[in-house]
Amino acid sequence: MTTFFEGDSNLLTAGAFEFVLDSELKRAVRSQNYLTLVMVEASRESDGGAAPADDGTLRDVAGLIGRELRDADLIGHTGRGTLALALLDADMEHAERVINRLVTRLEGHGFPAPLRIVLGAASYPTHAVDAGALTREALARPVARWRGGLHAPADQH
């Protein structure tokens, strides 16, 4: 039996997110609507540098982020230390407002260890027209940066 969600969360697995993103992009093409992909890269900081955040930390971040998304929007675990958000019928202007709310939500959360989060975004059809290109563009286009957690000075944007 194939599972689309991780555990008992609303976090799509990587394969499920890829499938749904592709389907939603096709819908956006047919209906001539926007779709914006937001990539969330989380890393743990330590004396020796940074490493991708573990799955537990990602679930915590996803839980915070999920509170700011509409029911129709999607959130998925796409790789080690990486989450993706598909904001349906949303252009970059709308995505930037969502990202600002996400940063505010992160600032209000007490992470137990130093954490760095980079949020990048790209929009269909402005930046790319297929899922792979949209993902690459979102990773290459940081919109906000946040740093916080216990013993880490906060510096965002």
Distance between CA atoms of residues 121 and 115, nearest Å: 20
Bridge partners, residue 60, by sequence: none
Q: Which pLDDT band, with edges at 50, 70 and 90, does 2 fall under?
A: low
Residue 115 domain-assigned? yes
Domains in the chain: how many in total? Answer: 1
Residue partners of 87: CB distance under 8 A and separation at least 6: 35, 36, 37, 38, 69, 73, 94, 95, 98
Instruction: For residue 4, tell me if it sits in a domain.
Output: no
Q: Which of 45, 54, 25 is nearest to 122 (CA)?
A: 25
Q: Quick one: average pLDDT of 97-126? A: 93
pLDDT for residue 73 is more than 50: yes
Nearest Cα neighbor of 11 from 59, 57, 79, 52 is 59
Average confidence (pLDDT) over 79-86: 94
Residue 98 within any structural domain of the chain: yes
Please report whether residue 52 resides in a domain. Answer: yes
In a domain, 8, yes or no: no
- Report in angstroms the alpha-carbon separations of 11 from 1, 30, 85, 112: 18, 26, 10, 22
Dihedral angle, C-alpha 104, 105, 108, 114, nearest 10 °: -100
pLDDT band at 1 (very low <50, low <70, confident <90, very high): very low
25 lies in some domain: yes
What global pTM score does this model have?
0.90
Structure confidence by residue, pLDDT tens digits, 10-55 = 899 999 999 999 999 999 999 999 999 999 999 998 777 889 999 8
**Would you say residue 129 lies in a domain?**
yes
In a domain, 9, yes or no: no
More confident residue, 46 or 117: 117
Q: Please report, for the domain that includes residue 114, its CATH number.
A: 3.30.70.270
pLDDT at 57 over 50: yes
Please write the tens of the pLDDT for every residue from 121-131. 999 999 998 99
Residue 141 has what DSSP assignment?
-
Is the pLDDT confidence value at 156 over 50? no
Closest CA to 60 of 38, 45, 70, 75: 75
In this structure, is the dihedral angle defined by the CA atoms of residues 91, 94, 100 and 104, taken in order, positive or negative?
negative
Q: Which domain holds residue 20?
A: 14-148
- Cis previous bond, 52, omega within 30: no
